[in-house]
């Protein structure tokens, strides 16, 4: 499996030479792309250097142990560290998601359950906002339609990571498994009999596209304007500032009414449209790559229930990987690290197994 390391080491050295050339910084988009790849490969280089050093140290300790039994314990310890370093290197060599380093757009929509579903969607929005805050990420609400009781009918949230973040610590790397139907079981505030109800909200996770990722031609767009509305349909603007954009080749429709001006709403709608088109293109590429095995986590149908939030038991269960914890109150306060780690580990195991199966 380590045969590809030499190729990656050579690529890393080449990227280092390119970044040292002042000319590359004249094109900021190219410089960012090269910089991200260089940082990504830097982890591989560091892991490979550590592994090679441990291989040499362990071999020297075994040789000395043949002459002096006092080195036997040292040789055993180094062998364990060598194995752990090799496993870390294997994981870094797994094929990466092409969007791993991107920021994300989160779309959260109320589902079945009426007012209670909208309230739960609002809870999910706050959960992701708190999670982003804990990670030092910036968030921006691109569009929102609120419900009468303070919930959310639908909301689009942009999440931007910190500059120089490690590849596995970006918003997309952390949040890409959140997409799907999230189910809640609790007594709604509107329930007078104290009965537990079940409702749901949907979450869609899109890697945020940059201008270089998706090219949109003006002739492919139909732009309509209409009057914005607030909770209950009341007018919040005196002008027709809301924008609806239809991408004619795909039929994708995006509307935005959060900003005060028509131009701002159009810009936000185009931002969302780019990310949806990028997701469509990636899905098509995945379907064409019939030989590439996709993991259980990454292929889950968005229409399926992915997670249950049970308030009476203070329980959260992710049905894709069998993860259960009784800290729902903490999770809703943004402490999602446990369930996200379980999903990432399941994905890594699946991809590593597929790679070893091919090698076998």
Burial class (CB in 10 A: 0-12, 13-18, 19+), 225: middle
- Do residues 323 and 200 both lie within one domain? yes
Q: Is residue 192 in some structural domain?
A: yes
Residue 226's pLDDT is 83
Domain hosting residue 75, numbered range:
1-93
- Do residues 273 and 224 both lie within one domain? yes
Instruction: Give the up-direction half-sphere exposure of residue 43: CA atoms within 13 A in the CB hemisphere.
Output: 18
d(CA 265, CA 249) in angstroms, rounded, equals 22
- Do residues 74 and 171 both lie within one domain? no
Instruction: Give the up-direction half-sphere exposure of residue 131: CA atoms within 13 A in the CB hemisphere.
Output: 27
Q: Is residue 190 in some structural domain?
A: yes
**What 3-state DSSP class applies to 343?**
helix
Find the CATH number of the domain harbouring 241: 3.30.160.20
- Do residues 189 and 233 both lie within one domain? no
Alpha-carbon Rg for the chain, nearest whole angstrom, is 24
- Do residues 88 and 192 both lie within one domain? no
Burial class (CB in 10 A: 0-12, 13-18, 19+), 36: middle
- Do residues 204 and 325 both lie within one domain? yes
Give how far the C-alpha of residue 288 lies from the chain's centroid of Cα atoms, to the nearest Å: 22
Q: Is residue 98 in some structural domain?
A: no
Alpha-helix residue ranges (DSSP H) falling in 1-65:
5-20, 28-65
- Do residues 132 and 169 both lie within one domain? yes
Name residues of the chain where pLDDT drops below 70. 1-3, 113, 164-167, 211-213, 228-239, 285-304, 355-360
pTM for the predicted model, two decimal places: 0.69
d(CA 330, CA 333) in angstroms, rounded, equals 5
Helix axes 72-92 and 337-359, enclosed angle (nearest 10)? 90
Helix axes 28-65 and 72-92, enclosed angle (nearest 10)? 160
- Do residues 12 and 157 both lie within one domain? no
Number of other CB atoms surrounding residue 223 within 10 Å: 13
CB of 278 closer than 8 Å to CB of 209:
yes
Residue 113's pLDDT is 66
Residue 293's pLDDT is 31
Instruction: Give the up-direction half-sphere exposure of residue 10: CA atoms within 13 A in the CB hemisphere.
Output: 5
- 294-327 pLDDT, tens digit per residue, is 332 333 233 468 999 999 999 999 999 999 999 9
- Do residues 195 and 340 both lie within one domain? yes
Residue 133's pLDDT is 96
- What mean pLDDT value characterizes the chain? 84
- 106-144 pLDDT, tens digit per residue, is 999 998 768 899 999 999 999 999 999 999 999 999 888
Token pair for residue 3? 């045969």
Number of domains in the chain: 3
Beta bridge partners of 106: 157, 205
- Do residues 334 and 273 both lie within one domain? no
- Do residues 23 and 42 both lie within one domain? yes
- Do residues 310 and 207 both lie within one domain? yes
């Amino acid at each position: 499996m380590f045969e590809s390391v030499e190729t990656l080491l050579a690529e890393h050295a080449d990227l280092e030479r390119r970044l040292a050339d002042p000319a590359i910084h004249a094109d900021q988009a190219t410089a960012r792309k090269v910089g991200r790849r260089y940082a990504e490969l830097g982890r591989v280089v560091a892991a490979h250097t550590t592994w090679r050093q441990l291989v040499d140290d362990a071999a020297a300790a075994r040789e000395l142990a043949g002459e002096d039994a006092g080195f036997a314990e040292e040789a055993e310890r180094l062998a364990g560290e060598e194995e752990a370093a090799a496993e870390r290197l294997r994981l870094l060599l797994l094929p990466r998601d092409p969007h791993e380093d991107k920021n994300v757009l989160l779309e959260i929509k109320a589902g079945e359950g009426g007012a209670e579903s909208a309230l739960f969607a609002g809870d999910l929005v706050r959960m992701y906002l708190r999670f982003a805050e804990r990670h030092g990420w910036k968030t921006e609400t691109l569009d929102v339609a609120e419900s009468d009781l303070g919930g959310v009918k639908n909301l689009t949230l942009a999440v931007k990571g910190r500059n120089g973040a490690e590849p596995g610590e970006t918003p997309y790397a952390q949040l890409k498994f959140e997409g799907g139907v999230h189910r809640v079981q609790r007594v709604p505030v509107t329930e007078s009999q104290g009965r537990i109800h079940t409702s749901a909200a949907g979450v869609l996770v899109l890697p945020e596209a940059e201008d270089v990722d998706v090219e949109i031609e003006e002739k492919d767009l139909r732009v309509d304007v209409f009057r914005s509305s607030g909770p209950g349909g009341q007018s919040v603007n005196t002008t027709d500032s809301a924008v609806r954009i239809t991408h004619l080749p795909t039929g994708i429709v995006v509307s935005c009414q959060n900003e005060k001006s028509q131009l701002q709403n159009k810009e936000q709608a185009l931002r969302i449209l780019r990310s949806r088109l990028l997701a469509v293109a990636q899905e098509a590429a995945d379907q064409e790559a019939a030989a590439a095995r996709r993991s259980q986590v990454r292929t889950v149908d968005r229409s399926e229930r992915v997670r249950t939030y049970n308030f009476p038991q203070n329980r959260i269960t992710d049905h894709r990987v069998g993860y259960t914890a009784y800290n729902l109150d903490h999770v809703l306060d943004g402490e999602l690290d446990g369930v996200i780690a379980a999903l990432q580990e399941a994905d890594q195991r699946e991809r590593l197994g597929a790679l070893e199966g091919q090698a076998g």
